[in-house]
């Protein structure tokens, strides 16, 4: 697969809610190994796009394809994601975080990541119930992997802290860690910097770049323009469900159509 082929391709996606087209024939091509920004004023359709990509919503029309060359594609030219369930899409290698933090609040940071790793257990129910050696080995391996993920997102020393007792910025990083536990090829982040302090945003930025450098493609919805400018290789702009601009971060920021969309909001 050549580097120019997109990892994710969205073709003419339409998402209609009653009389409202939250997405109106939106095309999107995300190149592998990049951080692709998705920006636009409030209500422009960004979260709707995330929900279409992850199977929460079934698009009214249009297609979503994960490229060949991924495990998911299984040698075929690409795997259609539209119409599949959220768990099928997650197992295809597309992980996400939500605009509002969604963690198991009473569970520790480690346990939250272990939940994300659950899919990797190979043993049968029998192994689980009887605690067979196979199961015990898998659990040891899962804990080691979860700890490695926590270290990666800077939470290694907070593994035993309950999620609800973590500062908000750390909760957001834990959500990213839990998504990474799926071993994704594509990670979708919906406003990860929302509500964070400047030092938290700086830490988050470093981690998102590390994720990209580890070979995971990222789609980043973000309204902090400095974060978008600092991180994104390419940016698509939505306004009222239409894609109004696309290109390099700087190019898009100076596009009159984009400036007008933000001023009008
Ligand atoms: P953004 O994330 O860019 O702020 P959204 O994708 O959340 O915007 O919303 C886009 C538009 O679609 C908004 O007008 C919103 O009210 C509408 N919308 C989103 N989800 C639904 C839904 N489940 N039912 C009805 N309207 C929705
Ligand atoms: Mg949103």
Question: Is CATH 3.40.50.300 what the domain over 102-183 is classified as, yes or no?
Answer: yes
Give the Å distance between the CA of 40 and the centre of ligand 2: 9
In angstroms, the CA 120 to CA 209 distance is 26
The 3-state DSSP class for residue 103 equals coil
What does pTM read for this prediction?
0.91
Q: Is residue 103 a contact partner of residue 178, using CB atoms and an 8 Å limit?
A: yes
Q: Is residue 155 a contact partner of residue 173, using CB atoms and an 8 Å limit?
A: yes
Instruction: State the pLDDT at residue 21.
Output: 97
The ligand placed nearest to the CA atom of residue 46 is 1
Q: Is residue 3 a contact partner of residue 32, using CB atoms and an 8 Å limit?
A: yes
Give the Å distance between the CA of 187 and the centre of ligand 1: 21
Domain ranges in the chain with CATH number 3.40.50.300: 1-93+184-265, 102-183
Q: Which CATH number fits domain 1-93+184-265: 3.40.50.10710, 3.40.50.300, 3.40.50.1980, 1.10.3720.10?
A: 3.40.50.300
In angstroms, the CA 14 to CA 204 distance is 32
Q: Is the ipTM of this complex over 0.90?
A: yes
Task: Render pLDDT for 10-36 as a digit per residue (tens, 0 to 9).
Answer: 999 999 999 999 999 999 999 999 999
Residue 199 CB coordination number (10 Å): 9
Instruction: State the pLDDT at residue 13.
Output: 97
Q: Is residue 66 a contact partner of residue 94, using CB atoms and an 8 Å limit?
A: yes
Instruction: State the pLDDT at residue 68.
Output: 59
The CA distances from residue 112 to 80, 177, 218, 233, in Å, are 29, 9, 21, 30
Both tokens of 213, joined, read: 């450098």
Q: Which residue has the tokens 């015990």?
A: 136
| Nearest residue (CA) to ligand 1, atom 25 | 17
Give the Å distance between the CA of 162 and the centre of ligand 1: 32
Instruction: State the pLDDT at residue 46.
Output: 97
In angstroms, the CA 57 to CA 166 distance is 31
Instruction: State the pLDDT at residue 209.
Output: 97
In angstroms, the CA 138 to CA 202 distance is 35
End-to-end Cα, the chain, rounded Å = 41
| Nearest residue (CA) to ligand 1, atom 18 | 22
Instruction: State the pLDDT at residue 32.
Output: 95
Name the pairing type of β-strands 8-17 and 20-30. Answer: antiparallel
The 3-state DSSP class for residue 69 equals coil
Give the Å distance between the CA of 221 and the centre of ligand 1: 14
| Nearest residue (CA) to ligand 1, atom 5 | 45
Task: Render pLDDT for 123-133 as a digit per residue (tens, 0 to 9).
Answer: 777 777 778 88
Q: Tell me the torsion sign for CA atoms 223, 228, 231, 232.
A: positive
In angstroms, the CA 165 to CA 162 distance is 5
The ligand placed nearest to the CA atom of residue 57 is 1
In angstroms, the CA 214 to CA 32 distance is 12
Residues 6 or more apart in contact with residue 252 via CB below 8 angstroms? 39, 235, 237, 245, 246, 258
pLDDT < 70 stretches in the chain:
1-4, 68-77, 119-121, 265
């Amino acid at each position: 697969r050549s580097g120019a082929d997109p990892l994710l391709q969205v073709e003419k996606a339409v998402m209609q809610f009653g009389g409202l087209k939250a997405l109106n024939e939106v095309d999107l091509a995300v190149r592998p190994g990049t951080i692709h920004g998705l920006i636009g004023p409030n209500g422009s359709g960004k979260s709707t796009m995330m929900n279409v990509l992850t199977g929460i919503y079934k698009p009214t029309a249009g297609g979503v394809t994960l490229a060949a060359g991924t495990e998911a594609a299984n040698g075929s030219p690409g795997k259609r994601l539209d119409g599949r369930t959220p768990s099928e899409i997650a197992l295809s290698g597309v992980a996400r975080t939500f605009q509002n933090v969604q963690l198991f609040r009473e569970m520790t940071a480690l346990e939250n990541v272990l939940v994300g790793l659950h899919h990797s257990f190979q043993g049968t129910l029998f192994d689980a119930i009887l605690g067979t050696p196979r199961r015990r080995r898998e659990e040891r391996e899962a804990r080691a992997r979860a700890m490695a993920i926590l270290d990666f997102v800077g939470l290694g020393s907070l593994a035993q802290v309950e999620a609800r007792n973590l500062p908000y910025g750390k909760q957001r990083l834990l959500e990213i860690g839990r998504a990474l536990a799926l071993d994704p090829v594509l990670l979708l982040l919906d406003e990860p910097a929302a509500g964070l302090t400047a030092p938290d945003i700086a830490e988050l930025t470093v981690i998102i770049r590390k994720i990209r450098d580890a070979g995971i493609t990222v789609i980043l919805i973000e309204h902090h323009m400095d974060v978008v400018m600092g991180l994104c290789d390419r940016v698509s702009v939505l306004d009222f469900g239409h894609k109004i601009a696309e290109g390099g971060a700087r190019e898009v920021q100076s596009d009159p159509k984009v400036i007008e969309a933000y001023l009008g909001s």
